Structure 1
Amino acid sequence: MERLAGKVMLMSGWTRALVAFLAGLFAVLALQPYGFIAALFVSFTVLVWLIDGASGDPDAGLLRRLVPAFRIGWCFGFGYFLGGLWWLGNALLVEADEYAWALPLAVLGLPAFLAFFYGFAVALARLFWSDGLGRILVLAAAFGFAEWLRSWLFTGFPWNAVGYGAMPVPMMMQPARIFGIAGMNVLAVFVFAAPALLWTGRGKRLGLSLAVLLLALQAGYGFYVLHFLPDAVDTDVRVRLVQPVIDQSAKLDDGQRAAVFEKHLALTADPPSGEQRPGIIVWPETSIPFILTDNPDALARIAAVLDDDQVLIAGAVRMEDTGAGKPPRYYNSIYAIDGRGQILGAADKVHLVPFGEYMPFEELFNSWGINAVAAFSGGFSGARVHQVLTLPGERSFYPLICYEAIFPREIDQAAYTTDALLNITNDAWFGDTPGPYQHFHQARVRAVETGLPLVRAANSGISAVVDAKGRVTLGLPYGMVGFVDATIPGNNAAFHDSVSQNFWFWCLVAIFFGAGVISRIGFRRDAN
């Protein structure tokens, strides 16, 4: 292996770039639906060796000396994001005659852009690189910082943060309750990169011991939480998740709107799967195919299907009149409707999808005849804050519409006063690809981070009720038409919150980075 490590370090040109790309691509196997965690050990070990050999011209300026390291990180990131996000192109094929031209931008352009974050991480780490354990420490801190930047810069897109690969099952998810996904990114990179110490560098015993200890603590803590910490007492609320599995092209067909609506109603009207009738029915994102306030007959149909004491929670487009002579605003929303057909409340999506639900630089793109893929002309408007959805009986949910569930920062303190997180989505845009599985996995981690159960309804799947420890209590797999009736689990929201998770994240970054810098100083002294 020492010979292999040496060959990797001495690679140059396109060979070095190709190996970095393949290492990033191989790392995707750790993500859902594969969950092959060993892939990240291989990928990050190779990445460390590549960085070892990425020394720039010592006579050049600082930035030019870092170019070889940045290039390695970018190629690694391009492979990782290309392999993990290629399925985004499916959304453009739904209306291929209008959007097929943008396929290269989605499949290649977005991964190429996101790869800059990993290029930055590797360049930052290389700035403080040494020959031993210190380089693993600074790499972990740099990747953690880069993933944090990716979560909010340019509205943020933290999909497939590297820490998710370290949490394929609930037992491995539990430390996210303490550190959040941001802290898990730091710890994961350190553990995955540690095997590089076996064949190169100083601090082998200490580094490998720390990595093994962290991995053991992760699994051990997860085992303890799942098997020894008592579960929160389940609520007495029964919920039905409706999964109609309607093809996206049918949802966009005006002639199919009535049939789409009736399919949701039929699944709602079916007898309960157990003795207790569900009090809350949940439909997926944009499941009501009309502007509800313009269609009183739709409300009457809903009332005819529901019992008087039942409540329907459904995704729909909400229109808001802005006054005479002005175009209306449209919101991607959730409605709560009672058994008499009355609208009890609504919550609008806050974090919209760029190019999907609205167009950045809208006037420019519209002048070229380009509109957002999933939006009305002019795009959706976003709410300023998340609105808790309050139902009769003092029950409440914290709504996360579609990909809002991948953003920990979208969950504010109001969430901890609710019964559960509520995620409705329509992943039919992406077909039976890794996308829906990755989305569901990240939503499960939100449940663990917050200590709140998750109620999730998806048009095509995966719909499920998840407890506060990330375990699926009942659900439907991707592509299965039907419904599931389940009791909402209790919550453990009193233990930790996002404030303490952010604190631990920055502590980890500071500790790892500081230790790496100290190691580099010691390395320079030894060299002199």
Structure 2
Amino acid sequence: MRDRLLALIAGLLFPLAFAPYDLWPLLLVSIGASFWSLRHAPSAREAMLRGWLYGLGLFGFGVSWVHVSMHDYGYMPLWMAIPFTAVFAAFLALFNSLAFYASWRLGRSALAFAGCWLLIDWFRGWFLTGFPWLYAGYALIDTPFSPLAPLGGVWLLTLSAVLLSAATAECAQAGRPRWTATASILVILVLTTVSHALSFTRPAGPNQKVALVQGNIPQDLKWQLSMRERTREIYQDLTAGIPAGHLVIWPESALTEFYQTLTDFVEQEGQLLADRNSGFITGIPWRTLGDTGVTYHNSIASIPLTDDAGQERVYHKQKLVPFGEYVPMQSLIRGLIPFFDLPMSGFTAGSPEQPNLSALGHTIAPFICYEILYPELVAQRSHGADALITISNDAWFGTSAGPLQHFQMARMRALETGRWLLRGTNNGVTAVIDHHGKVVDELPQFTRDVLYSHYQPRTGVTPFMATGVWPWLLVSGLLILAGWALRMKSPT
């Protein structure tokens, strides 16, 4: 019972390492304590239970903000929203349960534990479209370990955090340092030290001024028909005072009407800005009439929409949020509860073959809200891009930790790719992040304002952009094999 409680408490500590708390040393304590609990498990079944309890604490606390969108904006009663969130957390905890079970079977070494952890994290980010949230490496964005990100992305940071924590716990538990654990710690510390001297991208031109417009339109009003004209006025008025020479960015679904309905308004705004030597990028819903009927997209467009070659400069979101942007098995569950009928929950995913956007002579890799959390997607689209842009509407989650966690994780993409990131949102956090993942400028949440800043175009390819996750999945496999070999050599 004591070790089960330890696993649960260790899981509850895990989210405190992330925004908005940022107590990152607790990440190492949490992982180390969970490994200690695993090592003391008398059976694989008990290890599985302790892993589930750890995951329950981790996700029960870490994603508790999910109930906000269900209750406040999905019109689900609180007595229903909280159990729904609990079931979601309990499901996610199964991934930790699987990692604990596998590592116990493979010998309960720090090597096997770290390898299993990373493989299961990767699987969680892929299975059923994935939930790539709260990877351990994100908590290290503002630590001395952060230069590891261009080498191996959040995956290398996660692997390092888990292996360092578990190896330290293993040394302490064994009573004398085990050579594999000691060697693991030394390798991580040496690699981290060396990474501080490495640089993979370089400036590709002068700084460009940017203006990010934060409309701060309340979520409970945003989608009302009566708010459409007022929304256009808000963004129009905020944009009118922006000086010449800026790249102007409006957030995700800044306008809640389809581009095809607002073509004249949007193109007029784009032309006014072009006349002042400015560029214009906006999030906007999109409607397409094809051979199979009408499809709808969550999109971002560079205006004027058509470039000199006659190509449309628009990107349709690829990674859609289940129940928020599309409803799985909608023929069965639409209408059961209001949450399954949220505004704009009938989108179609865009093609992976879409080109990046262009504005003011720069190529910009676009990402909409949730898809900035997919490391490989961002790494792949960053080739040839001068900068990254992500637009979002985190108003669905109110004043909870969700939007701040999202912002922290978005910053990792800038660090992984060595590119500046421009982040435009409806109500925060609107910010500009440099190629080291550091916040250059930001607006306070829940304010209606324009963020004036700049970004530096950059070129070059980081190792993570070149290789993605595969080398670290291979390393994880080798760690698991090494852990299994140690078990065969010394079963006790």
Q: TM-score, normalised by structure 1?
A: 0.85
Question: Is the 1:88–1:107 contact (alpha carbons within 8 Å) kept by the matching residues of 2?
Answer: yes
Secondary structure of 1:94's aligned partner: helix
1:451 and 2:418 aligned? yes
Q: Deviations over 1:132-181 (max 9, x none)?
A: xxx1111111101110111101111110112222x131643221111122
Q: Distance in 2 between matches of 1:343 and 1:278?
A: 24
How far apart, CA to CA, are the structure 1 residues paired with 2:195 and 2:240?
40
Q: 1:236 to 1:195 in 2, by over 3 A?
A: closer
Q: Deviations over 1:282-329 (max 9, x none)?
A: 111000122221234523652575242432211111112246xx8632
**Is 1:368 the counterpart of 2:336 in the alignment?**
yes
For the Cα contact (< 8 Å) 2:419–2:458, is it kept in 1?
yes
Contact 1:197 1:207 in 2 (8 A): no
**Structure 1: how far apart are the matches of 2:257 and 2:6?**
51
Change (3 A) 1:222 1:254: farther
Q: 1:350 touches 1:386 (CA, 8 Å); kept in 2?
A: no
Residues in 2 aligned to 1:316 and 1:156: alpha-carbon distance in whole angstroms: 25
Instruction: Give the structure 2 partner of residue 7 of structure 1.
Output: none
* 3-state SS in 1 of match to 2:442: strand
State the distance in 2 between where 1:291 and 1:247 align.
20
User: RMSD over aligned Cα, in angstroms?
Assistant: 2.8
Distance in 1, matches of 2:224 and 2:440, equals 35
Please state whether the residue corresponding to 2:63 is helix, strand or coil: helix
Aligned partners of 1:221, 1:34: CA distance in 2, in Å? Answer: 29
Q: Distance in 1 between matches of 2:471 and 2:183?
A: 18
| Higher mean C-alpha displacement, 232-241 vs 85-94 | 232-241
How many residues of Structure 1 are paired with residues of Structure 2 in the alignment? Answer: 489
Question: Deviation at 1:475?
Answer: 2.3
Structure having the higher Rg: 1
Structure 1 residue matching 2:41: 3-state secondary structure: coil
SS at match of 2:463: coil
Q: Which residue of 1 aligns with 2:113?
A: 139
The superposition leaves residues 398-432 of structure 1 with CA deviations (integer Å, 9 ceiling, x where unpaired) of 11100100001223644211111110000111112
Match in the other structure for 2:226: 255
Asked if 2 retains the 8 angstrom alpha-carbon contact of 1:387 and 1:398, the reply is: no
Cα distance in 2 between the residues matched to 1:367 and 1:392? 42
Q: Distance in 2 between matches of 1:185 and 1:117?
A: 15
What are the residue-to-residue correspondences of 1:27-426 with 2, within 5 Å? 27-56=14-43, 66-95=44-73, 97-98=75-76, 100=78, 102-130=80-108, 135-165=109-139, 167-169=140-142, 171-201=144-174, 204=177, 206=179, 209-210=182-183, 212-214=185-187, 216-217=189-190, 220-221=193-194, 223-225=196-198, 232=203, 235-272=206-243, 277-299=244-266, 302-303=269-270, 305-308=272-275, 309-322=277-290, 328-338=294-304, 345-366=313-334, 368=336, 372=340, 374-376=342-344, 379-385=346-352, 387-391=354-358, 393-411=360-378, 413-426=380-393
- The 1:366–1:141 alpha-carbon spacing in structure 2 relative to 1, beyond 3 Å, is same
Q: In structure 2, the residue corresponding to 1:111 is in which secondary structure?
A: helix
Choose 212-221 or 497-506, whichever is displaced more. 212-221
Name the SS of the counterpart of 2:203 in structure 1: coil
SS at match of 1:258: helix
**CA shift at 1:225, angstroms?**
4.7
The AA in structure 2 aligned to 1:42 is V
Q: Helix, strand or coil for the counterpart of 1:483?
A: strand
1:21 Cα shift?
A: 1.4
SS in 2 for 1:319: strand
- Residues 349 and 386 in structure 1, CA contact (< 8 A), matched pair in contact too: no
Indicate the SS of the match to 1:512: helix
- 2: distance between equivalents of 1:21 and 1:462? 31
Aligned equivalent of 1:517: 484
Could you tell me which residue of structure 2 aligns to residue 434 of structure 1?
401
AA in 2 matched with 1:111: A
The TM-score, its normalising length taken from structure 2, stands at 0.91
How far, CA to CA, are the matches of 1:504 and 1:340 in structure 2?
A: 40
Residue deviations 1:75-123, cap 9 Å, x none?
Answer: 1011001111111111123335356565135421221111111100000
How far is the alpha carbon of 1:47 from its aligned partner? 1.5
CA distance in 2 between counterparts of 1:469 and 1:361 reads 42
Larger RCO of the pair (alpha carbons < 8 Å, separation 6+): 2
The amino acid of 1:242's aligned partner reads V
Residue identity matched to 2:238? L
Q: Deviations over 1:4-29 (max 9, x none)?
A: xxxxxxxx3xx543331111011111
Give the SS at the match of 1:428. Answer: helix
Shifted more, 89-98 versus 175-184: the winner is 89-98
Structure 1 alignment gaps of length 5 or more: 1-11, 57-65
Same amino acid, percent of matched pairs:
27
Matched AA of 1:119: S
Aligned to 1:59: none
Give 1:271 shift: 3.8
From the superposition, tell whether residues 178 and 487 of structure 1 become closer, same or farther in structure 2 (CA, over 3 Å). same
Alignment check: 8 A CA contact 1:365 1:371 kept: no
Task: Assess, with a 3 A threshold, how the Cα gap between structure 1 residues 88 and 306 changes in structure 2: closer, same or farther.
Answer: same
| C-alpha distance after superposition, 1:167-203 (max 9, x if no partner) | 1316432211111222322221111223323432266
Deviations 1:448-473 (A, max 9, x none): 21222211111111112222221222
SS at match of 1:360: coil
Q: Which residue in the other structure is 2:436 paired with?
A: 469
Alignment partners' CA distance in 1, 2:183 and 2:241:
54
Which whole-Å CA distance do the structure 2 matches of 1:31 and 1:417 have between them? Answer: 31
Distance 2:83 2:282 in 1: 32
SS of the residue 1:417 aligns to: coil
Pair 367,291 (structure 1): closer, same or farther in 2 beyond 3 Å:
closer
TM superposition shift of 1:366 = 2.1
Q: Secondary structure at the match of 2:132?
A: coil
Q: 1:61 corresponds to which residue?
A: none
Greater mean alpha carbon deviation, residues 233-242 or residues 86-95: 233-242
